[in-house]
Amino acid sequence: MANILVVDDDKVLLKVLEATLIKAGHSVLTVEDGRTALEKLETEIFDMVITDINMPGGVSGFNLITMIRKTEKLKDLPAIFLSGRRDKADIIKALDAGIDDYIVKPFDGDMLFAKIESLLEKKAGRYSFTDCPTKAKAMLPVELDVTGISEQGITIVSPVPFPLNFKLKVDCELFEEVELEKPLMRVAHCSVNPNNSKTYTIKANFIGLNESDLQKVRRWVMSNNPRIQKAS
């Protein structure tokens, strides 16, 4: 499962892509312009961005990819152009900007998924987030089990499901130990627990953590993996 940012001013296409990618098991956040995309990239961690070229707001797809490649923490982020522009000059310009792949609209779904999986496999070969095993209690107000933490977010076992993109904060002493101030999170994945059909496994990604906060999480993971920790 990947966390994918999709950028396009075509609302119908956004809904189609979102539904298709979610059905394939991915978490999706959609935005309609490049400026908003940059804001989301600053506050959340994504595994891939799929973007159009022509967009409102003063930040085109070319601008977006160029800025991504110039940002240290984003420079290796897999990126795909999904555009109706098919001129050779546009494709060359896209490659010069740093795009990983270029798909012309209307697109073939199987081809899109093949390219997504290929880029994600390459990304996984470069690096991956380390999910540190843990056991912690949290209150939403329902009681939750926090079973893992990484700099991307936490893994939760819950007696109730949460909708994708639902934003939440939880009280958990694990955050106090990591020295985080109750971070805002967004639900990126929710599925029935295969080991217990009465519970749900939820991936909640951190929103808005700065580099200092991310370093705290990295230090905790490196010094406590593996570790079982109890929370109230």
Alpha carbons within 13 angstroms on the beta-carbon side of residue 16 total 11
Output the CATH code of domain 3-126: 3.40.50.2300
Q: Say if residues 157 and 200 touch (Cβ distance below 8 Å).
A: yes
Q: Which residue has the tokens 């933490």?
A: 149
Residue matched to tokens 């997504």? 116
DSSP 10: -
Q: Max alpha carbon distance in the chain (Å)?
A: 59
Query: 3-state class of 178 per DSSP?
Result: helix
Domain ranges of the chain: 3-126, 132-224
Residue-wise pLDDT for 118-139, tens only, equals 888 877 666 556 677 888 877 6
Give the model's pLDDT for residue 229.
Answer: 44
Digit-coded pLDDT (tens) for 191-232: 998 888 889 999 999 988 888 898 999 889 888 875 444 443
81: enclosing H helix or E strand: strand 79-83
Which listed CATH number (3.40.50.720, 2.40.10.220, 3.50.50.60, 3.40.47.10) goes with 132-224?
2.40.10.220
User: Are the C-beta atoms of 98 and 68 separated by less than 8 Å?
Assistant: yes
Categorize the per-residue pLDDT at 65 as very low, low, confident or very high, splitting at 50, 70 and 90.
Answer: very high
Instruction: Give residue-wise pLDDT tens across range 9-39.
Output: 999 999 999 998 998 889 999 999 999 999 9
Structure tokens that stand for 51 in this block: 């973007």
Tens digit of pLDDT for each residue in 73-119?
A: 999 999 999 988 888 888 889 988 999 999 888 877 888 888 888 88
